[in-house]
Structure 1
Amino acid sequence: MQRGKISFGKIQLNVNKPPADDDKEKPEPDAVAGGFKKIDKQQMIRQIEDVPEDLESQHLKEVMGISGFGRKAAKVFDISEQIAKARIVAPPVPEPKEGESEEDDEDVIGPLPPATADSEQKPKPESTKKYSEDARNADDDDDEEGDSDSGDDEDNLARRIPYTHEVKMQHGSRAVLALAGDPSGARIVSGSIDYDMCFWDFAGMDSSMRSFRQLQPCENHPIRGLQYSVTGDMILVISGNAQAKVLDRDGFEKLECCKGDQYISDMTRTKGHVAQLTSGCWHPFNREQFLTAALDGTLRIWQGFRAKEQTQVIKTRAQGGLRTNAAACNYNRDATLIAAGCVDGSIQTWDTRKMFVNTTHCVRDAHQKGSEITSIVFSYVGQQLATRSNDETMKLWDLRSFKQPLHTWTNLYSRYDTTDCCFSPDDRMLVTGESLPKGQAEAHLYFYSTQSFEQVQRIPVANSHIIKTLWHPKLNQLFVSCGNGIIKCYYDEQRSIRGAKLCVVKTHRKRQQMELVGVSQIITPHALPLFRQEKTRSSRKKMEKARLDPVKSKRPDLPITSGQGGRVASSGGTLSSYVIRNLGLSKRVDDDQDPREAILKYAKDAAENPYWIAPAYKQTQPKAIFSEKLPADETAPASKKPKTETDDK
């Protein structure tokens, strides 16, 4: 059976119009072939528009109150009808009063005319008076609230200082010039003027607060500065020597910088510093780069541990172009600036992204000329800079306006050239200490606000000078080094974490000391053999001599080479007798002795000296009572009758 090909075309949609008879009679060739009929596009659109709406859409239109879906027809308005409605709804227009001109109805253009005396004498309405009084009272309340808010801010700042508890750590008896903390807060290190460097581990210390290691890394040079690297695994040591050192976490030396040639006048041609170091610091995020400053008028940047030479040399210049020495140096937080405080009282900064030929900022009269700038510190945000000097001042600077300081605090006596200052972790306070002036009992630690520049708190520390101050941002604890060799730690039970709080709760236990008595040898060459002492021999000779002794060496028994019977025959004829004799379980037993005779030989002693039965009845029955002889029962069998003496006979 052959079928035609199936072809697909457009579907004809004819809903309204029933098919005509002519269409039935005349099928198209496509329909005859078994496919779909092709229709025109316009015809299809026309047929779709003629589809009647269903009942659901009609019901929806009735509920929503609309005429139909699709495009909205333009709405036609009757203008006259709208005007009539507006006249009915609008309020009546007030008529002008007599004596008023038409000019009064017009708006006044330009400034208002001055008020007349009559208008000034007119009393204000009560509502206006009340409003003005309320506004004045509100302004007064705002002023009072502002004053109270400033007082509350100072109180909040004072409460942020962790000084509710304190702990003492004894470094030595001389002034502690250097103090540094591990970034993680696990350890701190301190260096003093007596060349000693102490390591303090909070996890290993107890309430006695003793350092676990003490050493002299720079021999006979005082320790002027210490700082941990950004990773906390290395320590930069700045001493009175011209060579800086880098130690690892446990105090072992990893690097010593080169010393320059002091006979070369151009400091850029030397390999290192030629004079005493004054300051130094690590790069904020590069663990292999650090900066040093010395009295040779240069700052040097050191890179890496293999190459012992500097990578950059920065010269500090005075106002006339002469050389001046840098007393303090530091990086900012993002390492884009290097700042140095010089002996001539100037502050100079350089951009690390450029050549170190010209300064980025230079303030010549920042501090008094001839007084050393002992510390220069950037804030954590990086927009402010604080300097401390021996001219008894501390100044706060803004890097965006660096010509004049934001504020200057005075009457801060400083005796040491390493006295520093530091920012609080939130940059809202500035902390520094003072040296002990004459006639004063205690030195104080001062806290100043960086916003209002007022004194927030003053804490008495010790009857000695305050040199270094460290506010650890992670522990939230204050460490203060003093001139009498004491390091004080201040902390808060609620706000501080770990650190000294771990050591306070541990009790100190004394170690048991072992007493060792040394044996001295007396040499007597002419003494008699009885009183001579053996010569001290080496352990090898003692071991060889003990080897020859059968008791000390625990030598086993040698095998029998001659004789008959051996060791068994010497102790008895049987193995059991040999074992009993050697183990000491019994006395020697003669094998030929009769056992009955051995027992009966004790019968006489038992009768004369009773030991087992008679002593038990000695008090209750001293005389033995035996059973009487009963008459023999004749009826009883002979085997049941008791035995008598007559029967024995």
Structure 2
Amino acid sequence: MEQQGEDREQSKSTSGTAGNDADIASVMGFSGFGKKARTFDLDAIFEQTRRTAIERSQKVTEQREMKDAEKQKRALMRGDSHADKASVSGGKGRPATSSSRPQSDSSSSSSDSEDNSEDELIGPPPPGQLSSRRATEENEEFVGPPLPPGYKDSDEEEEEEEEDDVSALGLDPSGARLVTGGYDYDVKFWDFAGMDSALQAFRCLQPCECHQIRSLQYSITGDVILVVSGNSQAKILDRDGFQVIECVKGDQYIVDMANTKGHTAMLNSGCWHPKIKEEFLTCSNDGTVRTWDVTNEKKHKNVFKPRSMQGKRVIPTCCTYSRDGKLIAAGCQDGSIQIWDRNLSVHTKFHCRQAHVPGSDPSCLTFSYDGTVLASRGGDDTLKTWDMRNFKKPLNVATGLSSFFPMTDCCFSPDDKLLMTGTSVKKGAGNGTLVFFDRLTFQKVYEIEVASSSVVRCLWHPKLNQIMVGTGNGLAKVYYDPIKSQRGAKLCVVKSQRKEKQAETLTQDYIITPHALPMFREARQRSTRKQLEKDRLDPLKSHKPEPPVSGPGRGGRVAMHGGTLSSFIVKNIALDKTDDSNPREAILRHAKEASENPYWVAPAYTRTQPEPVFAEEELDDEEADKEPEWKKRKI
């Protein structure tokens, strides 16, 4: 009824305006004001749009149900439980809708059309909706066997285990300074001789900005440090942390990496030459191992390109020099170990294609001190040793050594009898350990629980005979023997912790009264530094010592010539020129008073005190000659 009333009012207003237009046209002498405005029936348009939306939503729903039925059949055939779950839940996490709906119910049809319009996702969706929609689509498209129980994605492990871990350790050859780096981009310097038991670093810096630190090593002279981070350019720092050089970055658009001047991708590892102090080595995700010279930072020295069994490029994950510096070894992503002659970069001198499981990323290679054995730490939870004279198969293999990090170390003991490595654990699943193996028999000799986190880095210094360990929870630990170890941590653990300096002056609260009279107004303190300078000039607040007394002493203080008690005694008593000619008479003149009024010694010996016998007076020379020889005093 209301709608009909509105239509009548609208028709009346329309007829009225038409009559007025006709009157004005007849008066002014022309037939009309032009073409009439086109009218639209909005109700019919809305009804047509609603019907079109309903038909379209029905088609979309039917197509979706057909796809779900096909996926359900495939899942039943392949045994995919995940696809069954998706089909039961109605596709994308929404309850399945029916294809038959009554068109007479306008409210239900409008709500259905809104739901279907949301499903169709017309227009750009918000970021949260888009991400959730993509996630559900990926889950629906997944076809295959179910994931094993306890499986965790590698990204989740990195978020859980690699947060602020100590990913790099370096000790100078003398063992005086330790440098550490981590995933928090910080490089910290520790001085054993300057630290106390608080063990605080004396310097912290970020040389590579927002790139994680992957390797740190002092040169053989200990004057510079090689810093390998997550970017493509290695840096050289001096002992105080100032940058010396930065390697050049290569051209990433050149296909042949031998024609570029530097690395074009993230660095993985690096080390110094054991004999030549100016040369160092780096490996990168661009598939090359490059040697550099400190004197020439604009271009690499040599390029070594590891190749897979098919001759394709493979990424080196770790690299090192041999003890004599003549060989360069690299562990690659395909599980191979490839070794080149330092002066011949074309063909490998030794190689083992299946040293570790392909894709396990070997994390460390190290040579024994005698240079005949190579140890490799693999990401396949193994530790292997290789004989350089027979590189076909490993000498010994240890399994079950979990490793979650791409830089887990292994190293030989200074006497070359033991081999050490660390193990990784998941968060809250136990403690990371240091494991020691006998080099010849490869039997587990000893195992140390380090912390409730993974052991990422380990270093056994040959001069200090101490072990440095970096853990996954950001701790750097030092293990030493009180008898066999030398210097290093023994210098700082015996020092007591320094006390913090207390403030000499206490801050005073001031009451600000801006409208007080000048005679009652207090001067407002503008700066603490200025107040300290004023207090320094005040002799009472600065506790200025009193000057020496000039002239005769006063107030219990002696004069300037006797400023101290000892000097006063020396001047007035010890240097007294008065001297008795007969010291015996000087002492015996007090004998009568002491015998009549005994006070100190005599009362204690009243009963046992013997009669004093004094020597007789000295005789003349003539009488002395008459005495017998045995009575004469021997001089």
Q: Give me the TM-score of the superposition, normalised by structure 2.
A: 0.55
CA distance in 2, matches of 1:367, 1:285: 30
- Rounded Cα–Cα distance in structure 2 between residues aligned with 1:383 and 1:258: 35
Identical amino acids, percent of aligned pairs: 53
1:335 to 318, 325, 331: 325
Deviation at residue 489 of structure 1 after TM alignment: 1.1
Query: Offset of 1:283 from its aligned partner?
Result: 0.7
Structure 1 residues 56-455: aligned runs within 5 Å:
174-353=164-343, 355-437=344-426, 440-455=429-444
Q: Residue 251 and residue 521 in structure 1: after superposition, are their counterparts in 2 closer, same or farther (change >3 A)? A: farther
Question: Structure 2 counterpart of 1:213, which letter?
Answer: R
Residue-pair matches, total: 367
Secondary structure, in 3 states, of the residue corresponding to 2:363?
Answer: strand
List alignment gaps of at least 5 residues for structure 1. 1-171, 540-649
Cα offset for 1:513?
A: 3.5
Q: How do 1:482-493 residues align onto structure 2 when only pairs under 5 Å count?
A: 482-493=471-482
Matched, 1:496 2:485: yes
Q: 8 Å contact 1:238–1:245 — kept in the other structure?
A: yes
Q: Which residue of 2 aligns with 1:647?
A: none
User: Could you say if the C-alpha distance between residues 266 and 431 of structure 1 is closer, same or farther in structure 2, counting changes exceeding 3 Å?
Assistant: same
* Shift in Å, 1:527: 9.6
Give 1:235's aligned amino acid: I
Shift of 1:394: 0.7
Distance verdict in 2 for CA 1:392–1:286, change over 3 Å: same
Judged with a 3 Å threshold, the aligned counterparts in structure 2 of structure 1 residues 516 and 254 are, in CA distance, closer, same or farther, namely farther
User: What SS does structure 1 have at the residue aligned with 2:195?
Assistant: coil
**Cα distance 1:529–1:256, how it changes in 2: closer, same or farther (>3 A)?**
same
Is 1:470 the equivalent of 2:477?
no
Q: 1:392 touches 1:414 (CA, 8 Å); kept in 2?
A: yes
Moved over 2 A (4+): 304-308, 437-441, 513-524, 526-537
Residue type of the alignment partner of 1:506:
K
Contact 1:413 1:437 in 2 (8 A): no
Summarize the Cα distance change of 1:522–1:325 in structure 2 as closer, same or farther, 3 Å threshold: farther
* 1:358 to partner: Cα distance: 0.5
The alpha-carbon distance between structure 1 residues 505 and 274, as it changes in their structure 2 partners (threshold 3 A), is: same
**Secondary structure, counterpart of 2:492 in structure 1:** helix
Q: Distance in 1 between matches of 2:441 and 2:296?
A: 49
Q: Deviations over 1:513-558 (max 9, x none)?
A: 436859999998x998876979999x9xxxxxxxxxxxxxxxxxxx
State the one-letter code of the partner of 2:389: R
Shift of 1:399: 0.4
Q: How far has the Cα of 1:285 moved from its partner? A: 1.5
Partners in 2 of 1:182 and 1:369 — Cα distance?
A: 35
State the alpha-carbon separation in 1 of the partners of residues 189 and 483 from structure 2: 27
Equivalent residue, structure 2, for 1:597:
none
**Residue-by-residue CA offset, 1:24-49 (whole Å, 9 max, x unaligned):** xxxxxxxxxxxxxxxxxxxxxxxxxx
Which secondary structure state, in structure 2, belongs to the residue aligned with residue 323 of structure 1?
coil
Q: State the AA in 2 paired with 1:325.
A: I
Q: 1:242·1:273 contact (CA, 8 Å) conserved in 2?
A: yes
Distance 1:330 1:518, change over 3 A: farther
- Stretches of structure 2 that go unaligned for 5 or more consecutive residues are 1-161, 530-635
Distance 1:241-1:517 versus aligned 2 partners, 3 A rule: farther
- TM-score, length-scaled by structure 1: 0.54
- What is the rounded CA distance, in whole Å, between the counterparts of 1:476 and 1:408 in structure 2? 26
Following TM superposition, by how much is the alpha carbon of 1:286 offset from its aligned partner in structure 2, in angstroms? Answer: 1.2
Shift of 1:308: 2.5
In structure 2, what is the equivalent of residue 24 of structure 1? none
Shift of 1:304: 2.6
CA contact (8 A) 1:398 1:406 kept: yes
Tell me by how many angstroms 1:211 deviates.
1.1
Q: Relative contact order (C-alpha < 8 Å, sep 6+): which is higher?
A: 1
Q: Which has the larger radius of gyration?
A: 1
Deviations 1:178-212 (A, max 9, x none): 01111111111110110111111110111111111
1:511 counterpart residue number: 500
* Cα distance in 1, alignment partners of residues 525 and 479 from structure 2: 62
Question: Is 2:245–2:297's contact at 8 Å kept on the other side of the alignment?
Answer: no
Change (3 A) 1:194 1:518: farther
